[in-house]
Every structure is written in structure tokens, then in C-alpha cells.
Amino acid sequence: MRRVAGAAILIGVLGTAVACSDDRASPDTALTPAGQHGYEVARDNGCFACHGDGGMNGVAATWKGLYGSQVALGDGTSVTADEAYLTESITAPSAKISAGATLAMPANRLDAEQIAAVIDYIEELR
């Protein structure tokens, strides 16, 4: 029973953190309409609860500067954070785990359009 209550509190806290975030990526990020849509999809689906408001400064990997970078994986290999990698990371979070990752990304219900929008947003966070 205690675990259920603890989980409910955590979900409530994370939901509050997401609901309280504002509608901007960061003070220095100007977004295209596609990037703004991706921001809204990420915000509305709770991504910022772990990745931080605007995809930065959260408990999970930052999105700022991610697109096009090399990501070290836990198996010792690396991969370019391109559209294919990000799509796979969103649709199958445990397929390729970043080196040093301590949290497992939960499954989500984003459709193909929403995933593409979030990737557009991540790409703009350079």
C-alpha cells in the first residue's frame, strides 16, 4: 500500500512540474512554428518532467545540442543523434541506452506526427 501511495505522490509531483512549466524553450531560443509545436507536444506529454523545462536541466539527458551530436552508449559504441536514433529512442526507449544513464525512460503513446514534432523541437535546440 505504501508503494502505491508513494507512486501516486510522485506522479502528482511530476504532473505539477509539467503543468507549471511556461511556454518557452529557453530565454535564448527562438523557435519556428514546427519547433514550437514540438515543444508543446513534449510539454503536454510530460517529457519535461525528466528532460527539464525546455529539454534542459532535468534528471534525464538534455536535449540542447543533442541533435547531430555523438551519443556514447552503455555498450561502448556511439551513435549520431539523428532523426532515426531519436525516433528509436522515443518509440523503443530501452533499445540503445546512453552511457551513464541511471533512469529508464518510460513508454509513451506519441504517434508518428507527435514524434516528428518533438524531434523538430530537439533539432532547434542547438
Q: What are phi and psi of 80, to 5 degrees?
A: -80, 135
Please, are residues 83 and 91 in contact by the beta-carbon 8 Å criterion? no
pTM > 0.85: yes or no: no
Residue 6: which pLDDT band, with cuts at 50, 70 and 90?
very low
C-alpha distance from residue 96 to each of 20, 72, 87, 100 (Å): 31, 10, 11, 12
- The rounded percent of the chain whose pLDDT value lies above 90 is 71
Q: Which domain CATH number covers 71?
A: 1.10.760.10
Domain that holds residue 81: 2-124
Nearest C-alpha neighbor of 34 from the set 109, 126, 113: 113
Where are any strands of DSSP class E within the chain? Answer: 70-72, 78-80
Residue 28: which pLDDT band, with cuts at 50, 70 and 90?
low
Q: What is the pLDDT of residue 53?
A: 87
Domain tally for the chain? Answer: 1
Q: What would the pLDDT profile of 34-91 be if each residue is shown by its tens digit?
A: 999 999 999 999 999 999 988 999 999 999 999 999 999 999 999 999 999 999 999 9
Nearest C-alpha neighbor of 122 from the set 36, 23, 3: 36
